[in-house]
């Protein structure tokens, strides 16, 4: 069985503590759920040189589409970056990317977001994944390290099927518009969160995956 690689990359100028924290969160999740050892997380320094030209092109386009809100803080469009990440994964099917952004970000269907996981099918019919998360520096959405890790765990839960309809009872799921499917078990890290305050509250109570979400992810890893 081919090993799947998860590469951690970052926008230039991002606090290294957030970047290396991302590595440890991904690695801890793999240790908890990937019993078959299908996935390997890449050290930041090992993967950045191979993807920088493609992602940098996306960042340059994203910055060219920057905007300033009425409150005066800067946002950049995350979609060109995600497209570049998906393009890289299409060319390298054994690798998916997790991107740590410094800037506050938006997309065509979201006025702002802290993190997102996007999926699409390649031309060859295999599933591509990309995850992007923003530190929100110098904006109202700036996160402390614990909140950042909590939001990242939430997005990784989406990536690895924590709230997959096939794995969960319909009564335990909540589909919130474009934000996707979420868990309704009280205190689960996969509860719907549509604001920075939601993420901060989850971080303060040290939220984690409920037993049903954890089982769903283990099932996903075993496929």
Structure tokens at 202: 């989850």
Residue 85: which pLDDT band, with cuts at 50, 70 and 90?
Answer: confident
Q: How far apart are CA 181 and CA 209, in angstroms?
A: 14
Write the pLDDT tens digit of every residue in 163-195: 875 445 544 544 444 567 888 888 999 998 777
Q: CB–CB of 70/35 below 8 Å?
A: no
Write the pLDDT tens digit of every residue in 87-110: 888 888 888 889 888 888 888 777
Q: How far apart are CA 223 and CA 36, in angstroms?
A: 10
Q: How many CB atoms lie within 10 A of CB 87?
A: 17
CATH superfamily of 4-222: Collagenase (Catalytic Domain) (3.40.390.10)
**DSSP symbol at 176:** -
């Amino acid at each position: 069985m081919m090993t799947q690689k998860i590469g951690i990359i970052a926008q230039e100028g991002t606090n290294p503590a957030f970047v290396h924290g991302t590595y440890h969160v991904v690695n801890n999740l793999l240790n908890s759920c990937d019993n078959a050892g299908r996935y390997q997380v890449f050290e930041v320094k090992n993967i950045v040189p191979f993807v920088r030209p493609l992602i940098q092109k996306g960042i340059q386009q994203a910055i060219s589409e920057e905007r300033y809100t009425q409150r005066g803080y800067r946002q950049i469009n995350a979609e060109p970056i995600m497209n570049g990440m998906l393009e890289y994964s299409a060319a390298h099917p054994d690798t998916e990317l997790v991107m740590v952004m410094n800037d506050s970000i938006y997309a065509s269907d979201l006025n702002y977001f802290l993190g997102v996981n996007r999926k699409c099918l390649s031309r060859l019919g295999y599933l591509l994944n990309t995850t992007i998360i923003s530190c929100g520096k110098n904006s109202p959405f700036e996160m402390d390290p614990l909140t950042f890790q909590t939001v990242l765990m939430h997005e990784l839960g989406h990536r690895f099927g924590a709230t997959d309809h096939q794995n969960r009872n319909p009564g335990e799921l909540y589909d919130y518009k474009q934000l996707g499917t979420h868990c309704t078990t009280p205190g689960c890290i996969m509860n719907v969160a549509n604001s920075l305050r939601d993420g901060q509250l989850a971080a303060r109570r040290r939220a984690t995956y409920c037993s049903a979400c954890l089982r769903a992810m283990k099932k996903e890893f075993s496929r």
